[in-house]
Structure 1
Amino acid sequence: MLSAKEVMNVSKIIPVISVNETKNMLQLAEALIEGGVNIFEITLRTPNALKVIEAVVKEFPDAITGAGTVMSPDSFKAVSDIGAKFAISPGLTPALAKAADGGSISLLPGVATASEIMSGIEYGFDAFKLYPATIVGGVDALKAFGGPFKDIVFCPTGGINADNAKSFLNLDNVPCVGGSWIVPNQLVDYEKFYEVTRLTKEALELLE
């Protein structure tokens, strides 16, 4: 079992993906891996999300395939059962925290305020998703959180792009960012996966 901090150290970018067709997702995963990113957050925002995740887990066993938009104990169990290696949620509830505490994969819960971070720490979490990052204070908020929460790390997600990603990653408490700018739906829909590989390579070079 990978801890949340270990998941966050796999890559500087965790692509946030919403794809409904298994074929497209498999091609997308291959394009991302070719570009240098072998971790995927596949959100539960599409009807076939669980089937898509399961297919990627089977086809790319060495990749770190996780599920996003996990908001209930049932969905946490469902993604665990199909082989996801981590789960990400936009927030945290007592029920979800309890499910994660007894689960076989790590949960990266979303927070937006100091109170939510404190609540998460009480549940035993030491790594969070700041969401929606640019709306709830962005870089300045994370700098402020670094004082009272010096041992806590964050994956900012929401509004992250090629122009601001590096400013987040320059912070000591930010090992990675989450974003969809390297996996735009238009490129997936038109199956321009070579462009995804190019965007991924460019993003990683920019963030070095």
Structure 2
Amino acid sequence: MDEAAAIARLKSCGVIPVVVIEDAGRAVDLAHALVAGGIDVVEVTLRRPAAIEALAAIARSVPKALAVAGTVVTPAQVSQVKDAGAQAVVSPGFSESVDEALRKAGLPWLPGVATASDCMRAVAAGRTTAKFFPAEQAGGPPALKALSGPFPQMSFCPTGGVGLKNLGDYLALPQVICVGGSWLVPADAIASGDWNRITTLAREAKEAFLKFRG
């Protein structure tokens, strides 16, 4: 999948679930539950040992979901997630070495930015779509709006402190293509296999997105 197609999927989905998973055996059911609720992008963060296996399971068994690797911070991880079948990659920050590895791997990438300096580095590398992280701690919608002044070519996926209560504040900004968050994939629901709850949360998130962008 090329970068334009991946970004189009993110925009269409609207809300990107940020998944921290402890048991790879639950990954496929989790992805199916999200898809049932209208969320067809799944970002599996590399924060737990089970992440690579979980990512691979989703990429292999849930074709309706875009399998995204999150928290990729080293070139070595780029190779791992490509081998696992990741279709796109998200990072919490910007790194020239990770940028180079992803170009060689041919994978779409959303680097993380939080400051004007981060944006300058991303733009210099030709990266104009980024994850704004940590969104709330970095100043929220006012900060994002301010960054868009000197960087009108950039678009963003705010993540970090985003939820149903403030999702609309971000989506009101034209430079925001989607938002990300973990609220629709709570750890206790994943651990207990409460897939109905996950589907309900996904549906609520999708409806909230469509309210502002439908």
Quickly name the TM-score band, shorter chain normalised.
over 0.9
CA RMSD of aligned residues (A): 1.2
Corresponding position of 2:191: 189
2:45 to 34, 43, 46: 43
Whether 1:2 aligns to 2:33 is no
> How far 1:190 sits from its partner (Å)?
1.6
> How far 1:7 sits from its partner (Å)?
4.3
Letter in 2 for 1:21: D
Superposition map of 1:21-170 within 5 A: 21-170=23-172
Letter in 1 for 2:138: V
Q: Deviations over 1:33-86 (max 9, x none)?
A: 000001000000111211111111110123200100100011011101221000
Secondary structure of the residue aligned to 2:149 is coil
Q: Deviations over 1:110-162 (max 9, x none)?
A: 01101110111111101110110000111001111221111210000000111
Q: What is the rounded CA distance, in whole Å, between the counterparts of 1:54 and 1:94 in structure 2?
A: 26
Q: What is the rounded CA distance, in whole Å, between the counterparts of 2:124 and 2:102 in structure 1?
A: 13
Contact 1:80 1:104 survives alignment (8 Å)? no
Secondary structure of the residue aligned to 1:9 is helix
Q: TM-score, normalised by structure 2?
A: 0.93
Contact 2:35 2:64 survives alignment (8 Å)? no
Q: What is the rounded CA distance, in whole Å, between the counterparts of 1:130 and 1:187 in structure 2?
A: 27
> How far 1:100 sits from its partner (Å)?
1.8
Question: Once superposed, which parts of structure 1, at least 4 consecutive aligned residues long, lie more than 4 Å away?
Answer: none
Contact 2:69 2:89 survives alignment (8 Å)? yes
Q: What is the rounded CA distance, in whole Å, between the counterparts of 1:76 and 1:7 in structure 2?
A: 21
Q: What is the rounded CA distance, in whole Å, between the counterparts of 1:88 and 1:31 in structure 2?
A: 22
Give the share of equivalent positions with the same residue, in percent: 38
> How far 1:107 sits from its partner (Å)?
1.1
- The structure richer in helix per residue is 2
Q: What is the rounded CA distance, in whole Å, between the counterparts of 1:2 and 1:193 in structure 2?
A: 31
Superposition map of 1:5-24 within 5 A: 5-24=7-26
Contact 2:94 2:113 survives alignment (8 Å)? yes
Contact 1:7 1:86 survives alignment (8 Å)? no
Gaps of 5+ in 2: none
Q: What is the rounded CA distance, in whole Å, between the counterparts of 1:135 and 1:19 in structure 2?
A: 24
Gaps of 5+ in 1: none
- Equivalences, count: 208
> How far 1:201 sits from its partner (Å)?
0.9
Q: TM-score, normalised by structure 1?
A: 0.96
> How far 1:2 sits from its partner (Å)?
2.9
